[in-house]
Amino acid sequence: MSGSSLEFHVKPGGCLKGVLRVPGDKSVSHRSIMFGSLAEGTTEVTGFLEGEDCLATLNAFRAMGVTIEGPSNGRVVINGVGMHGLKAPSAPIYLGNSGTSMRLLSGLFSGQSFDVELTGDASLSTRPMKRVTEPLEKMGAEVVTTESGTPPLKIKGGKKLCGISYDMPMASAQVKSCLLLAGLYAEGQTCVTEPAPTRDHTERMLRGFGYPVTTEGNKICLTGGFSLKATTIDVPADISSATFFMVGAAIAEGSDVMLDHVGINPTRIGVINILREMGAHIEILNEREIGGEPVADIHVKASKLHGIRIPEEQVPLAIDEFPAIFVAAACAEGETVLTGAEELRVKESDRIQVMADGLQILGVDAKPTPDGIVIQGGKLGSGTVDSHGDHRIAMSFAMAALRAQGDILIRDCANVNTSFPGFVDLARSAGLTISQEG
């Protein structure tokens, strides 16, 4: 199905209710395939996200000779080939919409003995890659982009990598992870210093596979040459997917939802901090630790939200959640101001512009700024908005309908399957009047 042909039709009003389990964490699922493939022994993964992005990573490793069973009901069994067991793929590797696959694999493949070419869809083919290729070159890698620094990436094999100490110019877990993965194959120590904390799933999972990684403040270091030992991984539900239901429940009067088994890694909970500051009723229950990641059940009830100035230190901790947070801001009383979030302009779409355009179509006063947005809460009307093929924008506008005065039609929604297969059915079961066509 072509991406632009799938539309969501959402009727206004209603509320969200029930006990819901959203699909597995995308970041953790990607990394489980990468490390399981490079480990010695058999890694069993449960709760794996069977979305297109993670399947792109899975297929990349199959193309390099790794035997992977599944996924079947979220279960994947990976027969690891060891750090030096990958084989040259016979064709370029297509990664679809997945920036995480492209950025992390560029680091990992820089350390292999063979050449690899990585390609992506129209959106991924516009995304900046110099942020990874420049530091990789400092390590001795050779990675060619287009003249404008975008994919495809042509990675030369057989290069000798040397560890570097790198001060990241932007808070990006993808850049950090890329360099740490190259560092596995580098001589000596690779250190990455981040300007602000970003998601630390790579560091946690490497340790889970027995690989030594140190974290001191914002500096993460590892030394090349150790090996990974197979393990079992239980992937928690993705807080980024849970976000749509948290926002939906917070804005729609009468809502009461319990989101089960959600990953609440401290580097991912910006959305909870921000929504609570806006007045949302969110309880974190049954906190536990599963496979090195904190997990909890999240209870959300409708409440009256008010606008806030979003603290900049929360931005990297909520980086994927802003489309939904903007919908909450549009339903809040007063003004919400976001700054320090220019990274949103280089996600699957320009999330500042695309959200501002859609909110304006719905009658909301939303003004984009170079590094954020200013939203005046008010009434949401109705209309046709374009997600620009961005999964998180499509799902955010679906939730906006809970407070809209008329129907919302959302264009270009097929990419919801990159991160949240089954979204429409789950949203409908919770109370959203949503259908899809195309």
How would you class 11 by CB atoms within 10 Å of its CB: exposed for 0-12, middle for 13-18, buried for 19 or more?
A: middle
For residues 218 and 34, what is the distance between their CA atoms, to the nearest angstrom?
Answer: 24
Nearer to ligand S3P, 49 or 356 (CB): 49
Q: How far is the CB of 103 from ligand S3P (least distance, A)?
A: 7
Catalytic residue among 320, 386, 390, 412: 320
Q: Where are the beta strands (DSSP E) in 73-182?
A: 75-79, 93-94, 116-119, 143-144, 153-155, 165-167
To ligand S3P, the closest distance from the beta carbon of 198 in angstroms equals 6
Burial of 154 (0-12, 13-18, 19+ CB in 10 A): middle
Beta bridge partners of 408: 10, 383
Length of the chain (residues): 438
**Residue spans of alpha helices (H) in 184-214:** 201-208
Residues that bind ligand S3P (CB under 6 A): 27, 100, 172-174, 177, 198-199, 319-320, 343
**CB-nearest residue to ligand S3P:** 27
**Based on CB atoms, which residue is closest to ligand S3P, 319 or 355?**
319
Q: How distant, in Å, are the alpha carbons of 11, 261, 417 from that of 428? A: 11, 20, 16
Shortest distance, CB of residue 30 to ligand S3P, whole angstroms? 6
Residues 6 or more apart whose CB falls under 8 angstroms from that of 201 comprise 25, 27, 28, 31, 173, 265, 293
The least distance separating ligand S3P from the CB of residue 410, rounded to whole angstroms, comes to 20
Which residue number, 241 or 336, has a Cβ lying nearer to ligand S3P? 241
Instruction: Please report how close the Cβ of residue 348 comes to ligand S3P at its closest, in angstroms.
Output: 8
Of 173 and 246, CB closest to ligand S3P: 173
Taking the least distance from each CB to ligand S3P, the nearer of 112 and 172 is 172
Task: Assess whether 320 carries a catalytic annotation.
Answer: yes
State residue 126 phi and psi, 5-degree precision: -105, 0
Active site positions, annotated: 320
